Amino acid sequence: MSENFPRQMWWLAKLSKSWRRPRGKRNKVRLERKAKVTQPTVGYGTPRAERGLHPSGLREFMVFNPSQVAGADPKSHVVRISAGVGTKKRLDIVKACDAKGLRVLNHGNAVREAMKKTDQKKAAVTK
């Protein structure tokens, strides 16, 4: 919200850019004068059907363990793994999502490396 509606006089060092409603009696922003910062109003809102969606257009589905992957639908959900999940369980969740055809938003570098190692081991065994 701060990008579209910066705070009045945000360029001063002591003020942040985050929006604050102008409350002064003669405040030009509150009075909606020309050439002043615009205020957030009703018409700027996101349509209700699009609120809370990931930019891909799908709902985010929070997962804490591999058994919860069964509740997600590949057509309407993308999976986000909880931040507290460790690498071992994260790897199990990613494998379960791959089997079901779900997209994982935050599988992490450790999981990518572990999956590369397992793929390399499988390739070495098949040769």
Q: What is the pTM of this model?
A: 0.66
Q: How far apart are CA 70 and CA 97, in angstroms?
A: 9
- pLDDT recorded at residue 77: 96
Low-confidence ranges of the chain (pLDDT < 50): none
**Element containing residue 78 per DSSP (H, E):** strand 77-81
SS3 call for 81: strand
- Read off the amino acid at residue 127: K
Give the single-character DSSP code of 112: H
- pLDDT recorded at residue 1: 55
List beta partners, residue 79: 61, 104
Centre a 10 Å sphere on the Cβ of residue 31 and count the other Cβ atoms it contains.
11
- pLDDT recorded at residue 24: 94
